[in-house]
Structure 1
Amino acid sequence: MSRSTAVAAVGEVLTVTRIPAGRLWGAGVDVIDHDRFALAIRRTGPGLLRRVFDDSERSGTDWSRDGDELARLGRLFGIKESVVKIAGGLPTGAGYRSIVVGEAGDDGVRPIELRGALARWAVGEQVKLVGGVLPAGRMLPSGPSGPHLDLCWAAATCGESGTEQAW
């Protein structure tokens, strides 16, 4: 597998080739159903977007029309859900805006910044987080009439810092 590919499907096994250095502390996955996510956004309007996404994550969002933009936000939401699973839930005072998912690098891996109570949790546990998306169409059957799903993931590592390692 090429090192430029962060996530690849090998049979039914998900392989992550780059995460922050250290021991794997925890991992979380979430399957995002884009149709249900888009319906929720259309029902609630921009209020839900403001409660869930940081300004940098939703910049330029035309949630009312742009299906590609809603899919991008759905993937970010799935990564955030994966982080919540790693943390064992949202601590008091934390919300989805406390999790800021960065832009994907050339390899598809996204840095994750935590704020407030979640940042204090990460410092206490000495973990760093990254995340990404594996289009479920590569692993699950889907078609024009089938569900539009993506597998989102996050990984937390502890120990060494500063360098990254391949698995």
Structure 2
Amino acid sequence: MSRSTAVAAVDEVLTVARVPAGQLWGAGVDVIDHDRFALAFRRTGPALLRRVFDDSERSGTDWSRDGDELTRLGRLFGIKESVIKIAGGLPAGAGYRSIVVGKPGDDGVRTIELRDALARWASREQVKLVGGVLPAGQVLPTGTPHLDLCWAAATCAETGAGERW
């Protein structure tokens, strides 16, 4: 994903190339610190990843290395945290595995599938979610390669469904 297709800085305002269809209902952001995520993995091992990530999100995970795979999973974790912020927290009966982050499209935007109580929340509010990652080098000061900005956005149809106000 190149800077020109994913992110553009205009007068110090960050814009994302693709805005999800519909009216913006809510947004969440999270900064993932890959060093801290790797430390949590080293302390708990694969059990942490099984508790947080769906089988499809972990597919192909090589448990023997900390590098690129942990960075990928850390980014998914940041997107999940962003979703939880949009929802106002995890409702009873939901957990991190209730949020399944899909693979990125050509523009880096990922679909988000919700399950359990979060799926009922999204249905009630009539919202759909997408998310993504803005790599540290594109949005944060230099010298912070271990940080990434993760985001999620909830949209609703232009029909007035899901209006919050």
Q: TM-score, normalised by structure 1?
A: 0.87
Q: Give the aligned partner of residue 16 of structure 1.
A: 16
Gaps of 5+ in 2: 160-165
* Residues 13 and 160 of structure 1, relative CA distance in 2, 3 Å threshold: same
Q: Say which SS state the counterpart of residue 121 (structure 1) adopts.
A: helix
Cα deviations across residues 15-67 of structure 1 (Å, max 9, x unaligned)? 12323321100000000000000110111001100110000001121234141
Shift of 1:160: 4.3
Task: Compare 146-155 and 127-136 and name the one that shifted more.
Answer: 146-155
* Alpha-carbon separation, structure 2, partners of 1:112 and 1:129: 6
Shift of 1:11: 5.1
**2:53 corresponds to 1:53:** yes
* Structure with more contact order per residue of length (Cα contacts < 8 Å, sep ≥ 6): 1
Opposite residue 92 of structure 1, the aligned amino acid is A
Instruction: Say whether the 8 Å CA contact 1:75–1:133 is kept in structure 2.
Output: yes
Q: TM-score, normalised by structure 2?
A: 0.88
Identity of aligned residues (%): 87
* Aligned length in residues: 157
* Residues 9 and 97 of structure 1, relative CA distance in 2, 3 Å threshold: farther
Instruction: Say whether the 8 Å CA contact 2:137–2:145 is kept in structure 1.
Output: no
What are the within-5 Å matches in structure 2 for residues 1-12 of structure 1? 5-10=5-10, 12=12
Q: Give the aligned partner of residue 30 of structure 2.
A: 30
- Quick one: which of 138, 146, 153 aligns to 1:148? 146
Instruction: Say whether the 8 Å CA contact 2:133–2:148 is kept in structure 1.
Output: yes
Shift of 1:141: 2.2
Instruction: Say whether the 8 Å CA contact 1:63–1:70 is kept in structure 2.
Output: no
Q: Say which SS state the counterpart of residue 100 (structure 1) adopts.
A: strand
Q: Say which SS state the counterpart of residue 21 (structure 1) adopts.
A: coil
Cα deviations across residues 104-156 of structure 1 (Å, max 9, x unaligned)? 0001000000001000000000000000000122222233xx55100000000
Q: Give the aligned partner of residue 114 of structure 1.
A: 114
Cα deviations across residues 1-26 of structure 1 (Å, max 9, x unaligned)? x9x82433445422123233211000
Instruction: Say whether the 8 Å CA contact 2:34–2:146 is kept in structure 1.
Output: yes
Q: Give the aligned partner of residue 92 of structure 1.
A: 92
Gaps of 5+ in 1: 162-167
Q: Say which SS state the counterpart of residue 91 (structure 1) adopts.
A: coil
